[in-house]
């Protein structure tokens, strides 16, 4: 299967070259595309790596039909497999969230799998096929987990007892709910809703997950909004929008949410992280893109790392950890300056 996907990548690359797309990274960074970012390790995973969460020195990787893989990066340039768990992890795991050594896997129509990884060498399924379907993405706020369930919107579960998640209320969304996040004050929930862009909901009166949460703002975006990151200091949302790349949205006035900048450098934008005035964004067929957003109205591409099937990612101060569906785990060193 991986060989077949590699052939598709090569064919797609030939098509892109023949099209001569003017926004490809080469036209923006003609000299050194990497910007000083450097791949220091490619570490194969047992399954098709989809998403990564880093907690302390451990990586938790959702790997499709391979369930959950746990890797130690105590030495980031020499990763070591701790465990790979597939038993009772039903469906195709595409996203992972972690709280208190418990991993939550989103597996589409198979809902959520809850895995107790208190002993990372011997993880065990605590709950299988939790009825939050089709599970696309999770976001944890305190003892509550929000799950994007595509055209059905968002469901909320109380998870203070991970072996007995309590599914509570829900939120209807316009469009297909994919990416989720909440503001630090827990007043707003922001959702990336596919072709319907960004929606913002007031969750300040939370009522332990049973409240009625009104949509207070919306912004249409080009492409399909799949992931979201925030800069709360200036009330800016960054969205990975598929073929439309990065879209930057000002939500400081919820009655006038609007796009203030964008960056489309090829590929299909999948996931992103905001850190130190930079966006780190995975793009299928166009690698990892590092975008300087110090001026959100004029984002600029400052680094590119080749990766054909980059999906989820996480990072610390020195390294980026990227899930590549074909290659597995890719570890990237961040330049010191």
Cis amide linkage into residue 237, ω under 30° from 0: no
Q: Which domain holds residue 251?
A: 2-333
Q: What percent of the chain has pLDDT over 70?
A: 91
Q: How far apart are CA 211 and CA 183, in angstroms?
A: 17
Q: Judge whether residue 302 has pLDDT over 80.
A: yes
Phi, psi of 208 (to 5 degrees): 55, 35
What confidence tens digit (pLDDT) does each residue in 169-224 have? 999 999 999 999 999 999 999 999 999 999 999 999 999 999 999 999 999 999 99
The pTM assigned to this predicted structure is 0.90
- Which pair of tokens denotes residue 311? 């999906």
Average pLDDT over residues 281-285: 95
| pLDDT the model gives residue 337 | 73
Q: Judge whether residue 291 has pLDDT over 90.
A: yes
Q: How far apart are CA 72 and CA 235, in angstroms?
A: 35
Q: How far apart are CA 108 and CA 160, in angstroms?
A: 23
Residue in the structure block whose two tokens are 């020499």: 78
Average pLDDT over residues 26-51: 82
What confidence tens digit (pLDDT) does each residue in 150-170 have? 999 999 999 999 999 999 999
Average pLDDT over residues 62-73: 96
Measured over all CA atoms, what is the biggest interatomic distance in the chain, rounded to whole angstroms? 55
Q: Which residues pair with 116 in a beta bridge?
A: 102, 124
The CA-atom distances, in angstroms, between 41 and each of 112, 148, 164 are 31, 32, 38
The tally of domains found in the chain comes to 1
**Residue of 123, 168, 178, 126 lying closest to 145 (CA atoms):** 168
Residue in the structure block whose two tokens are 């166009």: 286
Q: How far apart are CA 283 and CA 265, in angstroms?
A: 9
User: First and final CA of the chain: distance in angstroms?
Assistant: 40
Q: Output the domain CATH number for residue 256.
A: 2.130.10.10
């Amino acid at each position: 299967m991986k060989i077949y996907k590699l052939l598709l990548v090569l064919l797609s690359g030939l098509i892109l070259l023949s099209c001569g797309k003017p926004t490809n990274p080469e036209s923006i960074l003609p000299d050194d595309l990497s910007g000083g970012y450097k791949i220091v390790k490619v570490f194969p995973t047992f399954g098709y790596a989809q998403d990564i969460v880093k907690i302390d020195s451990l990586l938790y990787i959702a790997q499709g039909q391979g369930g959950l893989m746990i890797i130690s990066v105590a030495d980031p340039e020499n990763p070591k497999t701790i465990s790979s768990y597939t038993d009772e992890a039903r469906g195709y795991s595409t996203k992972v969230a972690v709280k208190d050594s418990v991993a939550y896997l989103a597996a589409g129509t198979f809902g959520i799998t809850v895995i107790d990884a208190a002993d990372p060498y011997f993880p065990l399924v605590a709950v299988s096929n939790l009825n939050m379907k089709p599970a696309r993405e999770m976001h944890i706020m305190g003892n509550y987990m929000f799950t994007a369930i595509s055209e059905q919107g968002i469901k909320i579960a109380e998870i203070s007892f991970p072996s007995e998640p309590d599914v509570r209320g829900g939120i209807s969304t316009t469009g297909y709910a994919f990416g989720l996040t909440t503001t630090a004050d827990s007043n707003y929930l922001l959702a990336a809703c596919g072709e319907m862009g960004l929606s913002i909901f007031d969750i300040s009166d939370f009522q332990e997950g049973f409240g009625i949460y009104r949509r207070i703002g919306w912004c249409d975006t080009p492409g399909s909004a799949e992931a979201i990151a925030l800069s709360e200091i200036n009330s800016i949302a960054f969205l990975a929008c598929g073929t439309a790349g990065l879209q930057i949205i000002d939500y400081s006035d919820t009655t006038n949410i609007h796009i203030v900048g964008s960056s489309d450098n090829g590929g299909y934008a999948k996931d992103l992280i905001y850190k130190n005035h930079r966006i780190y964004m995975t793009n299928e067929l166009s690698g990892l893109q590092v975008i300087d957003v110090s001026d959100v109205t004029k984002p600029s591409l400052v680094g590119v790392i080749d990766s054909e099937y980059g999906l989820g990612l996480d990072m610390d101060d020195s390294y980026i950890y990227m899930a590549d569906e074909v290659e597995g785990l890719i570890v990237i060193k961040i330049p010191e300056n």
